[in-house]
Structure 1
Amino acid sequence: MSQSFMSRRRALKAAGGLSAAALIGGAGMLTMGGGTAEAAEDGSGLRIVESDEKDPRMKYYRFATDAIGWNPAVNVLLPGDYSSGRRYPVLYLFHGGGLDQDFMTFDKAGIRGLTEGRPVIVVMPDGGHAGWYSNPVASNVGPRNWETFHIEQLVPWIDANFRTFAEYDGRAVAGFSMGGFGALKYAAKYHGDFASVSAHSGPASLRRDAGLVAHWANVSSAAADLAGGSVYGVPLWDEKRVSADNPVENIGSYRNKRVFLVAGTSPDPLNWADYVNETQVLAGQREFRAKLDEAGIRHESHEEPGGHVFRTKLFSRDLDGILDRLRKA
């Protein structure tokens, strides 16, 4: 197990998307992953309660875990030549917020075709309708500790059950909307675990404009996931937690990573959800990019016409960059 995972467990014990508007409208130690898709087993706090491994590429698992008060699921998309016996880099791909968003989101968006012929394992887990890839300050419906589930449990479970490069240069993290925020957050907070990070219309600043994104995280999580609980605290925020999660306050943690950003420049002014979402995304990503520039940290960014949508052409370009950065299969 890597040193980063051991330190992470201690940190999380101590600490105990953007689609919010739409909802309301260096390297760790090298350890080789084991197992095969056909032999997935319980472990790392996860107990498999349902699975479907018949498809040669897409594997489905649902878990019982103390981290989440219901049984979250994950789709694991294997490369077409996984039977070759080689090891592969892994992309963790996170969905956005919304009552219709879950581990199936990217399969519905055509992820199988987008990754055809590409030597990478893509892991697409549940993240809650408005989980914000966080352990909330308060929940009225039992545990909803998405950060613990993803980082402490799912990542080591994947490395134990699939042929991965279980190291810094073997992992990337990406996401759309709320999931883009989650990707930016995890890449900085667990900077020894992910060598590439991509935010497709994902917010990069929690505090700008009087903390609008942090407020949306609280409001959306209270309405959709936590029955009145909140991610960051109401009426007062847990300020240390906000700062720990805020990409623009953790710029140094992106050094030596590949950083890829996408934002829309012309959201529909008549669509309130689209306009509020992408206006904040664009402004926050510009703030983030300026701070990266000040720190001399390289990044690739794209501002495209349109609003808060997943742009498959740019995701395909992103995949090429991810594979260039990660260890080769």
Structure 2
Amino acid sequence: MSQSYMSRRRVLKAAGGVSAAAVLGGSGLLASATAARAAGDGFGLRVVERDEKDPRMKYYRFATEAIGWNPAVNVLLPDGYADGRRYPVLYLLHGGGLGQDFRSFDYESVNIRALTAGRPVIVVMPDGGPAGWYCDPVHSNSGPRNWETFHIEQLLPWIDGNFRTYAEFDGRAVAGFSMGGFGALKYAAKHPGHFASVSSHSGPASLRRDAGLVTHWANVSSAAAELAGGSVYGVPRWNEARVSADNPVEHVPAYRGKRVFLAAGTSPDPVDWADWVTETQVLAGQREFHDRLDAAGIPHERHEEPGGHVFRTKLFGRDLDGILDRLRKP
């Protein structure tokens, strides 16, 4: 299968009028849900829209105080879900951009249905905002945009409460592309008991390198596309404690005992300046993260391939094999 060009032009065009020069772009509740029972409200989420007709792909939209609009999620069930068994869960986080949302991995260019056909895993693909950065921001002028709260405190237990999952560390993985790759690394470290496997496909792993270029981009892009002039980490001065709390390279010990998968491109398009800056920064940050993991003796899998800021479906297929090897089996 050819790699998907979910490219910088399409995925990280969140900034509208922003200059391209800024670009970077434990065990718990046991689910009792069955295939025949409709998902219900709970954990701070009220279902306001749903489509459960497809035998595999279920769609839900929620009202929640954590987000100032009604975010949605696609839940992709395995082919054998009707057999009554429990399954591990992969949380798959989309990249940044005005066109990116909970449907991003269901587009023809990725086709998550085909990639997971025959594989025993539930895939949860939530909204994360066009430039939410999988964070509760320091300041918002557009109402609540608390994406970390929505995902970790509300959606995760809601999934366990409505689907037959393994509601435990060894039953969950988190992965993502670009902004979502950062979100996956961040969530796995900040919430260490939740995810046994973490994968970052062209996602930044270092917020402070090169004078904090990724942090600056998070602030600029979120101000333009998400927070109406607010910021994820604070301007003109950052909330340094928040930056450190979210920065993967500052929390290397938290990845011990987890499966870690990293992928980045080595030859972004030199003509596409935005693509070049984005993946060059991603590659440098992932190499820094790799060095720190090595120094700590933490095993991990790392891939560098030609190309720029794109989602590589072949590598994702390999990653998915590793995820399923690590997680609890149905």
Q: TM-score, normalised by structure 2?
A: 0.92
**Distance in 2, Cα, partners of 1:149 & 1:118:** 27
**Distance in 2, Cα, partners of 1:179 & 1:29:** 25
Is 1:39 matched with 2:30? Answer: no
**Distance in 1, Cα, partners of 2:224 & 2:78:** 38
> SS of 2:73's equivalent?
strand
CA deviation profile, 1:44-76 (whole Å, cap 9, x unmatched): 000000000000000000000000000000000
Is 1:23 matched with 2:14? Answer: yes
After superposing on structure 2, the runs of 4+ consecutive aligned residues of structure 1 that deviate more than 4 Å are: 18-21
**Given that residues 12 and 97 in structure 2 are in contact (C-alpha distance below 8 angstroms), is that contact kept between their aligned partners in structure 1?**
no
- Partner AA of 2:310 in structure 1: V
Matches within 5 A, 1:51-130: 51-108=50-107, 109-130=110-131
> SS of 1:266's equivalent?
coil
**Given that residues 201 and 281 in structure 1 are in contact (C-alpha distance below 8 angstroms), is that contact kept between their aligned partners in structure 2?**
yes
**Given that residues 260 and 301 in structure 1 are in contact (C-alpha distance below 8 angstroms), is that contact kept between their aligned partners in structure 2?**
yes
> SS of 2:289's equivalent?
helix
**Distance in 1, Cα, partners of 2:70 & 2:28:** 31
**Distance in 1, Cα, partners of 2:175 & 2:47:** 25
> SS of 2:198's equivalent?
strand
**Distance in 2, Cα, partners of 1:135 & 1:122:** 23
Q: Count how many residue pairs are aligned between Structure 1 and Structure 2.
A: 310
**Given that residues 90 and 120 in structure 1 are in contact (C-alpha distance below 8 angstroms), is that contact kept between their aligned partners in structure 2?**
yes
Q: How many Å apart are 1:21 and its aligned residue?
A: 5.7
Q: How many Å apart are 1:29 and its aligned residue?
A: 2.9
Q: How many Å apart are 1:33 and its aligned residue?
A: 1.8
**Distance in 1, Cα, partners of 2:302 & 2:34:** 36
- Partner AA of 2:233 in structure 1: Y
Matches within 5 A, 1:143-292: 143-292=144-293
Q: TM-score, normalised by structure 1?
A: 0.92
Percent identical residues: 77
**Distance in 2, Cα, partners of 1:22 & 1:299:** 31
Flag the structure with higher helix content.
1
- Which ranges in structure 2 are unaligned for 5 or more consecutive residues? 1-6, 21-25
Q: How many Å apart are 1:36 and its aligned residue?
A: 2.8
CA deviation profile, 1:81-131 (whole Å, cap 9, x unmatched): 000000000000000000100000001120000000000000000000000
**Distance in 2, Cα, partners of 1:195 & 1:22:** 32
> SS of 1:62's equivalent?
strand
**Given that residues 22 and 273 in structure 1 are in contact (C-alpha distance below 8 angstroms), is that contact kept between their aligned partners in structure 2?**
no
Q: Where does residue 4 of structure 2 map in the other structure?
A: none
- Which ranges in structure 1 are unaligned for 5 or more consecutive residues? 1-17
**Given that residues 171 and 195 in structure 2 are in contact (C-alpha distance below 8 angstroms), is that contact kept between their aligned partners in structure 1?**
yes
**Distance in 1, Cα, partners of 2:267 & 2:323:** 27
> SS of 2:244's equivalent?
helix
**Given that residues 21 and 273 in structure 1 are in contact (C-alpha distance below 8 angstroms), is that contact kept between their aligned partners in structure 2?**
no
- Partner AA of 2:125 in structure 1: M
